[in-house]
Chain A
Amino acid sequence: MIFLHKMKGSGQSPPRVSLIEVSWSWIGSFLGIAAVSLIHYKLLDQTGLMMILGSFGASAVLIYGAIRSPLAQPRNLLGGHILSALVGVTAFQWLGGQPWLAAAVAVSTAIAVMHLTRTLHPPGGATALIAVIGGESVHSLGYLYVVMPAALGACVMLVIALLVNNIPKNRKYPEFWF
């Protein structure tokens, strides 16, 4: 009974943010994703290298849209992507013959590692998963995937976050670095 009762949920949603906040979230995420995708499409197009990952869309939500969140801080952004990428590539290289297993191990282990290192960053789970399900273009990178796109892409997004999030008077980023 308690088990089912708990499923009803008893709390409420946090209030909606102001339109100004929405605007700054839009500007920040536009510029952040523009930066990584410009590098990806304009500079690296023919090289087989990558700068953008699906999980960066999720990071953008946090570091431009929920900048106070502990999950959105530099330690989490960088640590989450780098450690998860490492876990993801390792999972694929060891268990790639069973993609379903490699995928599950990659995500679950990435979450555990992020927890243990206090770098929990939800998009990290996607970064680990993409290392397994990302196809030939990702697999061919090997451990380079950890440095680029994961680490470098996150760094570019971080620079944009530092620049944009500190322009408004009552917005500041980060809350803490490490």
Chain B
Amino acid sequence: MQEKSKAQSIPVEISEQDVVEAMKSIQGYLDITPGDFREVYQAAYALAVKRLLTSLRAADLMTKPVLSVDQVMDLVEAAGLLAEKGISGAPVVDHGGKIVGVVSEKDFLKEMGFGATPSFMQIATHCLNSKGCMIGNLRNRTVGDIMTGPPITGLPEMTIGEISTLFLDRQINRLPIISEDGHPIGIVTRTDLAHSYSIFGEGARS
């Protein structure tokens, strides 16, 4: 999985033949060998990628304010809150408002006995066959009981490149962004990342 994602991010290599074809399409004698041009292109491309990967920071990408849930909140209540807001996960905080973990759909599913990544059909089958749909497992429990912690967090000055790498390496889907004193101030999700990369695409086209 991880291997595949990395392979996809390798930039398109241009060949000397591509350069020759491009040079043919441009009127006039270009005073550079195709090999030298390719070298210049690759070096410039690497710089452009580096610039893009450092130009956007967590503070620019993150959704804010972020909805945090208290670690002592009842699980059913927390599920209702997430459902109402239409989000799939949130940072968990202690009574002082400092982050202590992250809770997501995955934690709920795990707690209900489905494993971390069940398909909808597995859940549906379970629910059809077992009365109560295993929701009983959630009763009288708190967010703190099922959350994933200690959490992986980021600071506002983290770059988009660092965030992407972290998502890939740690196999996470959301990254709470915290202030120096540990309070969640925003969250970067995979969707936020996808949006920001599409902005790069627009820029390249215009």
Residue B36, interface by CB 8 Å: yes
Segment among B3-11, B27-35, B127-135 that sits at the interface with chain A: B27-35
Partner of B28, one of A12, A68, A70: A68
Partner of B16, one of A12, A18, A170, A171: A12
Contacts of B155 in A (CB 8 A): none
Which B-chain residue is minimally distant from A10 (CB atoms)?
B35
Residue B23, interface by CB 8 Å: yes
Per-residue A-contact encoding for B21-61, CB less than 8 Å = 1, 0 else: 00110011111111110000000000000000000000000
Which A-chain residue is minimally distant from B20 (CB atoms)?
A15
- A153 vs B32: C-alpha distance when bound (angstroms): 28
Given A11-B36, A14-B34, residue A65 in contact with residue B20 (CB < 8 A):
no
- The interface size of chain B toward A, counting residues with CB under 8 Å, comes to 14
Chain A interface (Cβ < 8 Å from any Cβ of B): 10-15, 17-18, 20-21, 65-72, 168, 170-171
- A14 vs B20: C-alpha distance when bound (angstroms): 7
For residue B18, give the distance in angstroms from its CB to the closest CB of chain A.
12
Contacts of A14 in B (CB 8 A): 20, 23, 29-30, 32-34
- A70 vs B36: C-alpha distance when bound (angstroms): 15
Contact between chains at A17 and B20 (CB < 8 Å): no
Which B-chain residue is minimally distant from A70 (CB atoms)?
B31
Contacts of A170 in B (CB 8 A): 27-28
Contacts of A168 in B (CB 8 A): 27
The A/B interface has a contact count, at CB < 8 Å, of 50
User: What are 6 A-B interface contacts by the 8 Å CB criterion?
Assistant: A17-B28, A68-B29, A70-B31, A170-B27, A170-B28, A171-B28
Which A-chain residue is minimally distant from B36 (CB atoms)?
A11
- A170 vs B27: C-alpha distance when bound (angstroms): 7
Contact between chains at A21 and B35 (CB < 8 Å): no
Contact between chains at B23 and A21 (CB < 8 Å): no
Question: 16 other contacts beyond A12-B35, A71-B31, with CB at 8 A cut-off?
Answer: A11-B16, A11-B35, A12-B16, A14-B20, A14-B23, A14-B30, A14-B32, A14-B34, A17-B27, A21-B28, A67-B28, A68-B28, A68-B30, A68-B31, A170-B28, A171-B28
Partner of B20, one of A12, A21, A66, A171: A12
Given A15-B20, A15-B24, residue A66 in contact with residue B33 (CB < 8 A):
no
- A13 vs B28: C-alpha distance when bound (angstroms): 15
Which B-chain residue is minimally distant from A165 (CB atoms)?
B28
Partner of A11, one of B24, B27, B29, B34: B34
Contacts of B33 in A (CB 8 A): 11-14
Which A-chain residue is minimally distant from B31 (CB atoms)?
A69
Which A-chain residue is minimally distant from B39 (CB atoms)?
A11
Contact between chains at B27 and A171 (CB < 8 Å): yes
Contact between chains at A66 and B29 (CB < 8 Å): yes
Which A-chain residue is minimally distant from B22 (CB atoms)?
A15
For residue A5, give the distance in angstroms from its CB to the closest CB of chain B.
15
- A33 vs B18: C-alpha distance when bound (angstroms): 37
Contact between chains at B29 and A17 (CB < 8 Å): yes
- A13 vs B23: C-alpha distance when bound (angstroms): 11
Contacts of B16 in A (CB 8 A): 11-12
Which B-chain residue is minimally distant from A66 (CB atoms)?
B29
- A70 vs B31: C-alpha distance when bound (angstroms): 8
